[in-house]
Amino acid sequence: MTARRSLLLATPALLAAPAVWGQARFDDRPIRILVGFPPGGTTDVAARLMAAKMQESLGTPVVVENRAGAHGNIASEHVVRAAPDGHTLLMGTIGGLAINPTLYGNLSFNPQTDLEPVTRVGLIVNVLAVPVSRPWRSVAEVIAAARAEPLTYGSSGSGGAGHLAGEQFNMMLGLRNQHVPYRGGALLVTDIASGQVDMGFTPASGVRPIVDAGRAVMLAVTTRERTPLVPGLPALSEAPGLEGFDMQDWSALMAPRGLQPAIRDALHAAATGALANAEVVAALNGRGIAATPSTPEEAGAFIRSEAEKWLPIVRASGARPT
């Protein structure tokens, strides 16, 4: 760290002055990263880890602000309406950026045109988990049971990543498993542990405690390929009939459309630098999140492809906001 940056971080009086990063200038207001969910979740944790390192490199305060509600739409709309000066950012998710435009038929904004990407942030590893009281110990056994009689599967909410993973599972296999939406992942994990639901699609980090306690079993990750974050666990795509299955629960750092190039470049460098930091990567991995820094262009192309991919599945599912 340079002496100048040390002074910027250590001296409150200097923090009140405009911060300059390359050709970008930030005024004395903090940079806010809005999260559309309550504190403590994976999206919030990733935002806070990234914000701390961004603050160090930019020399200006970077804070996380939680504005929960409407599947992330409240936070998204606030950022859309903000000035494109780099001081208001969004920790966007697959829900807010790729699913909600189809799930909600009356949004007053379009995340594809009203927001611009800074970088992809992380990939949250989701798994198919079953109660230990069920006899299935492989995806093939779950499929066989579901063909004999429809099962119930839980998710953290209608229209979310877990719900659509279950719908993709049904559609690819021609099954009629019944969706049970919960108001949050914690309630779903509780019911998996107690056997109130046959299976659930949920983040690995959330279900890990009941797996370690011997109350649930993780059968597969929902990404196309295996991941070292859950060693030894197969991918759903390895099961017959599920070739190509891929549900990525992801996040991306977004800004209001119209950033000056110098501001965008400064934010991009700070964010991707944070995501390359060994301490940040280790902390993210510990929460079942793989860092996925990218260029703004790569992030934009990825978000568009995800929106196109999930549009027909959302429509076919009949999902409605909860």
CATH of the domain at 182: 3.40.190.10
Q: What is the band of 23 on the pLDDT scale with cuts at 50, 70, 90?
A: low
For residues 149 and 145, give the distance between their C-alpha atoms in angstroms, rounded to a whole number: 6
Regarding whether 307 and 271 lie in a shared domain, the answer is yes
For residues 162 and 249, give the distance between their C-alpha atoms in angstroms, rounded to a whole number: 9
Regarding whether 313 and 296 lie in a shared domain, the answer is yes
Residue 212 lies in a domain: yes
Sheet holding 216-221, edge to edge: 178-181, 152-155, 199-203, 126-131, 216-221
DSSP letter at 70 equals G
More confident residue, 2 or 244: 244
DSSP secondary structure string for all residues of 194-256 = HTSSSEEEEEHHHHHHHHHTTSEEEEEESSSS--TTSTTPPBGGGSTT-TT----EEEEEEEE
Question: 174: alpha, beta or left, given left = phi > 0 and alpha = psi -120 to 50?
Answer: left
- Number of separate domains in the chain: 2
Average pLDDT over residues 31-43: 91
Q: What's the domain range around 90?
A: 3-124+248-317
How much is the mean pLDDT over the chain?
Answer: 90
Residue 242 lies in a domain: no
For residues 257 and 112, give the distance between their C-alpha atoms in angstroms, rounded to a whole number: 10
Q: Smallest Cα–Cα separation from 166: which of 73, 68, 247?
A: 247
User: pTM to 2 decimals?
Assistant: 0.86
How confident is the model over 266-317, as pLDDT tens digits?
999 999 999 999 999 999 999 999 999 999 999 999 999 999 999 998 988 8
